[in-house]
Structure formats: C-alpha cells, structure tokens
Amino acid sequence: MIPARILTYTTYRFAFAVFFPAIVLFALNACTLKHRTIPAGEIPKIDALTPGDAEFGKSLFEDLCDDNRLDSQNERYGQLVKVFDHLIQAAQVDHLPWQIHLFNDPDLADVRAVHGNYVFVWTGFLDIVQNEDEIAGVVACEIAHVLARHTFPVQFTLWSDVFFDVAELTTSIAIMQLTHGAVSVNGRGWMKWAYVEISDLDPLDREYSEADEREATMIAMQILQRSKYDPEAMLTFWQRVQQDETLQIKVKRLNRELAPQRRTEIVEELLRQLPQRAKPHFPDNLNTGQYNPGLPALQIQSTSKSIHPSEGS
C-alpha cells in the first residue's frame, strides 16, 4: 500500500505537470505566428495555391461529406453561384481556383471558408437572408478571411515548439509515475492538438478574434464597393439578428463568439469610413459562375480553364 504522504506528493506532481501546462496553453496564443495586418482600403491578394493548399481544403470537404448531404438541387443554388462568382471577380482573385459547396441542413445557418479556397454553406443560411445583397455581405466576409490568411493552419514559433515538447514529456512521465507504468502517453503533437481544439483554432470551428473579424469586415466592404452589391445589406442583416432572439440562436455558429450587438457596431463604424461610390452598372443577366445543377456541388474557376466533375471532389 502506498503511504499517504507519497501518494499526495505524487498527485501534486501530476497536477502540476498536467494543469500548469494547460493554463499556459492559453497564453501561448502570443507565441503563434501572426499574419500581417492589412492596411485600410486594401484587398489582399494570393498569387497562387500550392498543391498542399488544395489538398488541405479537399480533405476538409471530404470529411464534411461524411456527415452532411450535398444539396445541388436547392432552388437558390444558382443564386449562390452567381453571387459568389461575382464577388471573386470583384476582389480580382478569379485567377485562382475556388470551390463553394452547399450542404442540406435547414437547422444550421452557417458559412465557412477554409484554407485552400474552399467555402461551405448550409441551407439554413439561405433561409434567413432576404436578398442577394445579404448573401453577398456574409459570403464576402468569408472570402475576406481567406484573403487575409486568417484561415491558414496554425503555425507555432520555435519557443512554443520547445515548450510543447517539454510539457508533453513532463506530463507523460508524471502519468507513468502516478499509475506505476499502467498508463503511458506516447507520441508527439498531442498537446498541440489539444491546444488547437481548446482554443477553437481548428479549420471548421475556428473562432476569430475581434481584430480578425474587424479586418475581414473591412476587406469585405472593399470587395462589395467594387461589386454590384450594397455594403449596407451587411448592416441590415446583423441588425435583424440583433433584434431577433430566435434568429440569434440559429446563427450562433455563423456569428462565432462575437456578440451580434458588437458585430453591428463594427459594421456601422466601418460603413461610415467607406467613401461614397457611384453605383456600378452590371448587366442584369450577369452570371459567370460555371453552374451545372447536375454536379454534386458548385465548382467555380473564373478563368479560361474549366473544372470537370472528376477534378472538383
């Protein structure tokens, strides 16, 4: 039988080894590599996608398809294509391959952009918007997160890499001592994985900081200024959410962790900073998206090269 004094001492060592690193994990956000700040009025550009970028987005898409049903037959699918393709052209990033996929879930109002230029939309979002301008306002923000590199996988500094290695080793030793070798934790990287999950930095559940949300909103407004869509619709959409508690519940994922009132304040502030624009003229029949209702999901490439069904998924 283990003496109480030794057991208590071992337990304290274990608690220190496990819980102290867990607390420090939250401070490590300052030790992850940061993207550059985008100057006001600028729409950032991505010159090209690497094969790894495309594979990253494709892998996430395939994971989503395991739990979600694609909805290419939705009557507003073509409308989503038109809006998305027009925004990509207005942002002047139509030289890149982009993919947008619509999933059938009327109870989920969400739009997610991930690294690799993939954008995912759930049909619950289309049920709550009132016009194409509101669709454009929300989708433009997700495009902006991609262009600002907010969606890039988390990268750690050298210091934080060393910290994780030491913390993993210390925790593994403590667990082995406490359990007399009955339980061991092997492998590397599990503590980084835990940090990413706890901090909501994984690609599909990423929670952006208020600074990132502000930056994406600013970029989105610049895109909308160059488009045929009204930036004011972004404000009317979030004002409606702010005033409707039922709607707030439905868009909880879409809103991330930013309170609707605070998001509305940010949008109002940035709208006041926008220069007045002359409404550009676009043909009423503008629809440059390569929309084919027979495809399993929308696939857009706004260049002379087309994407065939076998290449998109």
Sign of CA dihedral 63, 66, 72, 76: negative
Record the tokens describing residue 221, joined without a space. Answer: 């407004």
Tokens of 290: 């390569």
Arithmetic mean of pLDDT, 245-251: 92
pLDDT of amino acid 209: 87
Picking from 279, 142, 277, the residue whose alpha carbon sits closest to that of residue 219 is: 142
Partners of 103 in the β-ladder: 70, 122
Mean pLDDT is lowest, of 126-140, 145-159, 235-249, 281-295, for 281-295
> pTM for the complete prediction?
0.69
Contacts of 63 (CB under 8 A, 6+ apart): 204
Of 39, 44, 222, 218, the residue nearest 148 (C-alpha) = 44
- Calpha distance 55→177 (Å, rounded): 41
The pLDDT tens digits of the residues spanning 188-198 come to 554 544 544 44
Which of 63-77, 119-133, 237-251 comes out lowest in average pLDDT? 63-77
Query: Look-up: residue for tokens 């488009």?
Result: 227
Cβ neighbours of residue 279 under 8 Å, at least 6 residues apart? 228
What are the structural domain ranges in the chain? 4-31+155-198, 51-153+206-312
- Cα–Cα distance for residue pair 151/243, rounded to 1 Å: 30
